[in-house]
Amino acid sequence: MTEKYLPRCRIFLLDGKKFRTNLFVLFFELPLKRETTTKTALLAEVLKGQKWTETTKQAEEMYGALWDISVVKKGDRQILLFSLETLKAVDVEEAVSFFRNLILRSLEGAFREKVVERKKEILRRRLEGLQDDKKAYARKRAMEETAEGTAYAVPADGYIKDLQEISAKSLFAFYRDMVEQAEVKVFFSGEKTEKDKVLSLRQDFPGKLLYKEKEETDEPKNGPRFVQENARMEQARLVLGFSADMETGPRQAALRVLNHLLGGSPDSLLFQTVREEQGLCYDVKSYLEPMSPYLFVQAGIKAEDGKKAGKLVLKAIERLKKDGVSEEKLEQAKENILRNYDGLADSPWAMVDFFAEQALQDQPLTTEKFLRQIEKADMDDIMQAADHLELRVVYLLRGKEDEHGAE
């Protein structure tokens, strides 16, 4: 078998002629690992702290250009993302120079210990504060439990326990290695005539990487687990985590339609049955985690209604497996999904996010193929997608005052 190599830095040019601004997005693509996720999350904070005064001044000189450094989770990968948005009046060459400095200037010196320690404390408080948003916290914990033992379970915002061992020296070495070795993707939404100026960024990240097919990971096939946690809260959060089949584009499309029918809209099966007819929840929604083989259903409930609500969710899925829905409902669901993606062309950020996910999955950078797959999904595809759902975890976050109450 012939080995295939790709440039370490790949650059994607998107047509942004109609927008008032140019958007530059560069990210380092890293596998999600326990040993590096906290460093990467902290790195985003430290780099912003290192650059704040000087970089903000330069940005203001470019008619108030907007820049940011953040960490994003996409499936089993962690993205350290640099962004810059400028008015079209700003020369692209000047913007590229600013963008280059934003990423590389820190390597000319070292991270200051005081800055790193201050940012560690800020990140620590942010991680502790995640528990205040019970819906978001339940979503995060359900993902960790459902994907246990895989990279998908690792959070991109890191772990409080791992902050202590990170020093300014070790963090700087980590960043240097990342810049020199990690896979880089650059997205530019702007005029195609500026292509050569943007492509010059490739010289800062030389080298090639061996292209490897994504390896299949064997996940544990144990029966569904029940996980309960207690917190200070009035209502409980129930989350059911399912593994799903996403091996091909058409199956991913069918799963998106299934999700919309199940709990992705106010007309969905779960909203109508669990909330409107039975009154068992304050809210209910199904969702797909981006670029992962998991579907979740989350509901705000009274703790004592947990079992009943969970059974109704499973009944709704069984109903979709056996009976599907009417052709009218199916077409309406597909139209709603297609309408959401029609808006991609109206936002440079939405375009970059969509095409970045396509690139990360080695899919063609085109909306046409994706939209055709949605249009072609029929009821047999939806029923098959429902049949492949496998319950992995039932997660319940309930108020402490209810911990001895009815199960």
Q: Which CATH architecture has domain 225-402?
A: 2-Layer Sandwich (3.30)
Give the tokens for residue 346: 């109206």
- Predicted local confidence at residue 407, as pLDDT: 38
Ranges of each domain in the chain: 5-210, 225-402
Could you tell me how many residues make up the chain?
Answer: 407
pLDDT at residue 362 in the model: 84
DSSP annotation of 298: E
Look at residue 405 in the predicted model and tell me its pLDDT.
43
**5-210, CATH topology level:** Cytochrome Bc1 Complex; Chain A, domain 1 (3.30.830)
pLDDT of residue 401: 55
Where helices occur in 246-305 by DSSP H, the ranges are: 249-263, 269-270
- 321 burial (CB, 10 Å; 0-12 / 13-18 / 19+) is middle
Phi and psi at residue 77, in whole multiples of 5°? -125, 150
5-210 shares its CATH topology with 225-402: yes
Per-residue tokens: 147 = 């994907």
Q: Are 238 and 307 a contacting pair, CB within 8 Å?
A: no
Q: Which tokens is 182 given?
A: 């990690």
What is the pLDDT at residue 220? 55
**pLDDT number for residue 276:** 83
What pLDDT score does 21 carry?
96
- Torsion sign across C-alpha atoms 287, 290, 292, 293: positive
Q: Would you state the structure tokens that stand for residue 326, as one six-digit string? A: 């009417």
Residue 404's pLDDT is what?
Answer: 46
Task: Compute CA distances 241 → 31, 144, 147, 349, whole Å.
Answer: 23, 10, 9, 29
Q: Which pLDDT tens digits describe the chain residue by residue (407 residues)?
A: 456 778 999 999 999 999 999 999 999 999 999 999 999 999 999 998 876 667 878 888 898 999 999 999 999 999 999 999 999 999 999 999 999 999 998 898 889 999 999 999 999 999 999 888 999 999 999 999 999 999 999 999 999 999 999 999 999 999 999 999 999 999 999 999 999 999 999 999 999 887 666 555 555 556 799 999 998 888 899 999 999 987 777 888 999 999 999 998 888 999 999 988 888 899 999 999 989 999 999 999 999 999 999 999 999 999 999 998 999 999 999 999 998 888 788 899 999 999 999 999 888 778 888 899 999 999 999 999 999 999 999 999 998 654 444 33
Burial string for 349-376 (b: 16+ CB within 10 Å, else e) reads eebbbbbbebbbeeeeeebeebbebbee
Centroid of chain to Cα 106: 27
